[in-house]
Structure formats: C-alpha cells, structure tokens
Amino acid sequence: MEIKLWRELLDPYAQAVDELILKFNHIKQSYRSRGEYSPIEQVDGRLKTISSILEKAQRKGFELDEMEEKLDDIAGIRIICQFVEDIDKVVDIIRARTDMRIKEEKDYIRENKESGYRSYHIIIYYKVETLSGAKELQCEIQIRTLAMNFWATIEHSLQYKYPQNMPENVSVRLRNAAEATVSLDEEMSYIRGEIIDAQNSFLIKANLVRDILNNIQNLYQKANTREIIKIQDEFFRIYRSDDLDELIRFHKELDIISEGYRSQSLN
C-alpha cells in the first residue's frame, strides 16, 4: 500500500485517539473539580504503527484489505487507575455512554493470560466525523491499575528483545513479578479508603483555595483596598493554620460578602 493511502486510512483512527483521550480526561477533570475522587488516574493513547500492523496481519494471517475489520486495536486508549476497584467503575462509565458502542469485553484480570498479563479490555465502535463523512471504527480501550501497567510496560519491552522466544528463566521471573503486582494491588485496596480520604481533602482544599482567590480577585473591583487587605490577611492566617473547617467557614463568609457587593452593584 502506498504511504499516502496508509495516511488516509489511519487519519480517522488518529482523530479517534485524540477525541477519546480528550473525553476521558474530561471525565477525570469533572470528578476533580467537584472535589471527588476520580477512578481515572491517567489517560494515554496511541495509533498502532504501520510495522506493528503489518506484523500482526502476518501473524494472524489476514490480508491488508481486511485490516479494518480484523484489527480492533489500530486506535488504542489506555486508562490507568489507582485501584482494582476503580476498573469496574470505569467499565460502567464506558457501558453507559451513548457515543461508544461496545463490541466486546475481555477480562484478563479475573482470567489473566499465561504470560501473567492483567488488564481489562473493551473493544468499542466509535464514530468520527471526517471530511469525507462519518466513519465508525473500532478502538481498543485497555483499563488497568498502575501496578498492572508497570508490569505490562516492562514485559512488552522484553517481547521486542525476545520475539516468541523468551528464555524460561526470564518468563519465570516475569510470572513471579506478575504475582507480586497482584499482592501490591490487594494491599493497596485494603487501605484504599484511607488513601482516597487523604486525596479528597487535598482536592477539597485546592478547590477552596482556588474559589477564595477568585473571589478576592473579583472583590478588587468592588470593595475598598483596606477591606481587601484585611480579607487577604485573614485568608493567609487560616491557610497557614491548615484547618480545613476554618477554610470552609471562611469560603462561605467570603461568598456572602461577595454576594453583598454583587447585589449592591446591581442596585
């Protein structure tokens, strides 16, 4: 196939990767701006390289004109979660979406692969709008924890070094390492509540500080300088005291003050 044709064929897949990364990052951001824990920690995506497509077509024995039907991971998204429990939440989010139609789900967590690989895969149909019209294409979403991702990344790089001929001692080490990631995920799950609480109070504090600073900035146009300096000093005092309840109280008070100035300026 000519290079130009490859580009035409792969362009919509590149667009799908870009759009899906944006959408999943937006979900993550929406949780965080509500001060809630996000089951999505990180989103990555990639377009399968031409050499990897050729290699898979040869390995699976299909012609290049069947590629779009037979190859479901030309567009690939990877969603990384902190905890195993988050994976089911992300799966539910995807199942509930109207812009992603599920073709297939593969649960390599409950039934991990011979290699030790663990991850949850969802193949979706996703529609992109291109210059030549709408096109529905397949995309693979891999959902896994940070620990699963660590293992898969290292193991994947070794597959390049030993294509189909991994030495037995390396395979054994990798299977041991895979078991260690299962224990790591389990241990982290036991203290999940504790970790989420800590992350949530950090988020709540960050959102409060952002709102308070916005409010103070807006007051500069309405209140007198002496009053603003007083408010600012009070804010710094509470911020340094690291008392979240005080910060919440101050945030509410500042809202009332700002509201007062807003209605004054309307009158």
Residue placing its CB nearer to ligand 0O2 in the complex, 31 or 117: 117
Sole residue written with tokens 């390492």: 177
Q: Is residue 228 within 8 Å of 220, Cβ to Cβ? A: yes
Smallest distance, Å, CB 241 to ligand 0O2?
Answer: 48
Residue placing its CB nearer to ligand 0O2 in the complex, 125 or 202: 125
Q: Which of 2, 63, 140, 227 is catalytic?
A: 140
In sign, the C-alpha dihedral spanning 98, 103, 109, 115 is negative
The binding site for ligand 0O2 (CB under 6 A) comprises 48, 52, 56, 73, 106, 113, 115, 117, 121, 152, 155-156
Residue placing its CB nearer to ligand 0O2 in the complex, 60 or 95: 60
Q: Of 266, 199, 206, nearest to 239 (Cα)?
A: 206
Phi–psi pair at 140, nearest 5 degrees: -100, 130
Residue placing its CB nearer to ligand 0O2 in the complex, 174 or 247: 174
Smallest distance, Å, CB 78 to ligand 0O2?
Answer: 9
Cα 196 to the center of its chain, rounded Å: 16
Rounded to whole angstroms, the Cα distance separating 259 from 215 reads 10
Which structure tokens are listed for 207?
């959102």
Cα radius of gyration rounded to whole Å, the chain:
25
Smallest distance, Å, CB 10 to ligand 0O2?
Answer: 14
Q: Is residue 103 within 8 Å of 125, Cβ to Cβ? A: yes
Rounded to whole angstroms, the Cα distance separating 101 from 124 reads 5
Q: Is 140 a catalytic residue?
A: yes
Q: Which residues are the active-site residues?
A: 140
